[in-house]
Structure 1
Amino acid sequence: MSNSDPIAQASTEQHMPRYYAQRASEYERVFDRPHRQANIATLQAWLRAQFSGRRVLEVATGTGFWLPAATAEAQSWQCTDINPEVLAEAKAKPLDFERVKFQLADAYALDLVAPKAPSPFDAGFAGLWFSHVPVSRQAAWLQQFHQQLQAGARVVLMDNRYVEGDSSPIFRIDSEGNGYQMRELSNGSQHEVLKNFPSEARMRDLLGAQVSEFEWTELDYFWTLSYRLR
Structure 2
Amino acid sequence: MTRADFATPESMRAYYAQRAREYELVYHKPQRQDALRRIEAWLAEVFAGHRVLEIASGTGWWVPHGASRAAAWWATDLNPETLAVAQAKTLPACVHFGQVDAYTLQGLPDEAFDACFSGCWWSHVPLQRLGDWLATLHAALPAGSRVVMLDNAHVEGDSTPVTRYDEHGNGYQRRRLLDGSEHEVLKNFPTQAEVLACLGPRAEAVSWHHFGHYWAVDYRLR
Could you say which TM-score interval applies, normalised by the shorter chain?
A: over 0.9
Structure 1 SS opposite 2:130: helix
Q: In structure 2, how many angstroms separate the alpha carbons of the residues matched to 1:188 and 1:139?
A: 35
Work out which of the residue numbers 28, 31, 34 in structure 2 matches 1:32: 28
Equivalence map 1:49-68=2 (5 Å): 49-68=45-64
Number of equivalent positions = 221
What corresponds to 1:184 in structure 2?
A: 176
Q: In structure 2, how many angstroms separate the alpha carbons of the residues matched to 1:148 and 1:61?
A: 17
Work out which of the residue numbers 118, 127, 132 in structure 1 matches 2:124: 132
- Alignment of 1:92 with 2:88, yes or no, is yes
Structure 2 SS opposite 1:145: helix
Structure 1 SS opposite 2:165: strand
Q: Offset at 1:8?
A: 7.7
Q: In structure 2, how many angstroms separate the alpha carbons of the residues matched to 1:37 and 1:17?
A: 28
List runs of 5+ in structure 2 lacking aligned partners.
Answer: none
**Structure 1 73/119 Cα, relative in aligned 2: closer, same or farther at 3 Å?**
same
Equivalence map 1:1-230=2 (5 Å): 11-97=7-93, 99-111=94-106, 120-230=112-222
Structure 2 SS opposite 1:228: strand
Q: In structure 2, how many angstroms separate the alpha carbons of the residues matched to 1:59 and 1:96?
A: 18
Deviations 1:74-124 (A, max 9, x none): 000111101011001101121124x1111111111103569xxx9600000
Greater displacement, 210-219 / 157-166: 210-219
Q: In structure 2, how many angstroms separate the alpha carbons of the residues matched to 1:88 and 1:95?
A: 13
Q: Which amino acid aligns with 2:13?
A: P
1:78–1:103: 8 Å Cα contact kept in structure 2?
yes
Deviations 1:140-192 (A, max 9, x none): 00011111111110000000001111000000011100000000000000000
2:149–2:216: 8 Å Cα contact kept in structure 1?
yes
Structure 1 SS opposite 2:149: strand
The alignment's C-alpha RMSD in Å is 1.9
Q: In structure 2, how many angstroms separate the alpha carbons of the residues matched to 1:213 and 1:45?
A: 21
1:112–1:148: 8 Å Cα contact kept in structure 2?
no
Q: Offset at 1:209?
A: 2.9
Q: In structure 1, how many angstroms separate the alpha carbons of the residues matched to 2:108 and 2:85?
A: 25
Q: In structure 1, how many angstroms separate the alpha carbons of the residues matched to 2:129 and 2:206?
A: 21
Q: Which amino acid aligns with 2:95?
A: V
Greater displacement, 44-53 / 144-153: 144-153
Q: Which amino acid aligns with 1:106?
A: D
Structure 2 SS opposite 1:88: helix
Greater displacement, 118-127 / 182-191: 118-127
- Which runs of at least 4 in structure 1 moved beyond 6 Å after TM superposition? none
Q: In structure 2, how many angstroms separate the alpha carbons of the residues matched to 1:89 and 1:113?
A: 20
1:53–1:75: 8 Å Cα contact kept in structure 2?
yes
2:61–2:86: 8 Å Cα contact kept in structure 1?
yes
